Structure formats: C-alpha cells, structure tokens
Amino acid sequence: MTGWIIIIIAVLLLVWAVSIYNNLVRLRNQFKNAFAQIEVQLKRRYDLIPNLVETAKAYMKHEADTLEAVIQARNQALAALPQAKQDLTNNQAMQQLGGAEGALGSALGRLNVVMEAYPDLKANQNMMQVSEELTSTENRVAFARQAFNDAVMSYNTYKQSFPPVVFAGFFGHRDDASLLEFADSNEIQAAPKVSF
C-alpha cells in the first residue's frame, strides 16, 4: 500500500515538474515570437528610411548633414538588431539596440523639423506617401515593443516565482529575458516653448 502511495506521489511530482517546464517553454517562445514581430517592423522601418532620404535629397541640398545623420543612425540600428536577436537574455545587446533605436528616432525627428522649412518637399506626393508609411511603421514598432516587453515580463515573473524558480535553472532557463527600451522612452519630453 505505501509503495503505491509513493508511486502516485512520484507521478504527481513528475506531472507537476513537466507542467512547470512546459510553461517556461511556452512563455519563452512567446517572448521570442514577440521579438520576431519587432524585428519585422524594424526591418520595414530600415527599408523605408533610404526612400525617405532619397526623396528629400532633391529638395534639401543644403541639409546633407541631417540626411547623413539619419542614414548613419539607421545603419547603427540595423547592425544592432542581429546581436539583440541572437540572445534575448543579453541585457547589453538589448540596451545597444534600444540606444541605436533612440538615436534613429532622434535623427528622424531632426529631419522632420528640417523638412518643415521645405513646403515643396512636404507637398511632394512621394514624400507624403513615404512619411505616412514611416509613421504607420513607427506605430507598429511601438505596439510590437509593448507586446514584447509584456511577454518578457510574463516570462520573468513566472520564472522568478515559486516553485518554478526552483526548477528553472535545471530546465535551462537561467537568465532573465531583457526588456527592450528605446533610449528616449523613459524620458518625459519637454514641451516646446512658444513665445510671441
């Protein structure tokens, strides 16, 4: 009789451990998939930026530095993406991607400010279309990043809670996943000053 009780308890413990393992795998796959969605949107963004710059070049001959800064920031962000994708638990790689994305956003913001001085450029059909696509993509990036960070938070919370924390390392889930925060996402932007 006690032998059967021990066997039943062992089976229940095994089922419980398998359940923890499966939840860890499911949550890890969710945040990996969420990062893949970010990657799709970032690559779309990176592909649109050269079109934006090429369209603007014809009108903004005196703004070569601004255009070059946008391309350089785009290239740095593009280079940081594969490193972050390689190991989503590498906090440094995620910070580098976030910093590069923040710099790209800042460079695009400066480009938008400069474009205001060129009414013909703003009225150009190609420029309007590329700008609209880029704006749409920026929104998609923001939503994808939010979904990724939510998935990372769910994974980390489950992995760090008891009893999964006891088994996580044994099951190969040693490191926490890293959030993706863009460099300027934590700073409250100062409102522009208007004086008459």
CATH number at residue 155: 1.20.1440.20
Q: How far is CA 103 from CA 24, 99, 141, in A?
A: 34, 6, 15
Domain of residue 156, residue span: 14-168
What element of type H or E holds 183?
A: none
Q: How many domains does the chain fold into?
A: 1
Q: Report pLDDT for 188.
A: 38
Is 182 inside a domain boundary?
no
User: What is d(CA 108, CA 96) in angstroms, rounded to the nearest whole number?
Assistant: 18
Task: State if pTM tops 0.85.
Answer: no
Query: Angle of helix 64-86 relative to helix 2-57, nearest 10 degrees?
Result: 160
Q: Is residue 195 part of a domain?
A: no
What tens-digit pLDDT sequence spans the chain (196 residues)? 788 999 999 999 999 999 999 999 999 999 999 999 999 999 999 999 998 888 888 777 778 888 899 999 999 999 999 999 998 989 999 999 999 999 999 999 988 888 888 887 777 788 888 888 988 999 999 999 999 999 999 999 999 999 999 899 889 898 899 999 886 544 434 444 433 3
CA 104 to chain CA centroid, nearest Å: 13
4 inside domain? no
What is the distance between the alpha carbons of residues 43 and 130, in angstroms, rounded to a whole number?
A: 15
Confirm whether 2 is domain-assigned. no
CA dihedral (18, 23, 25, 26) positive or negative: positive
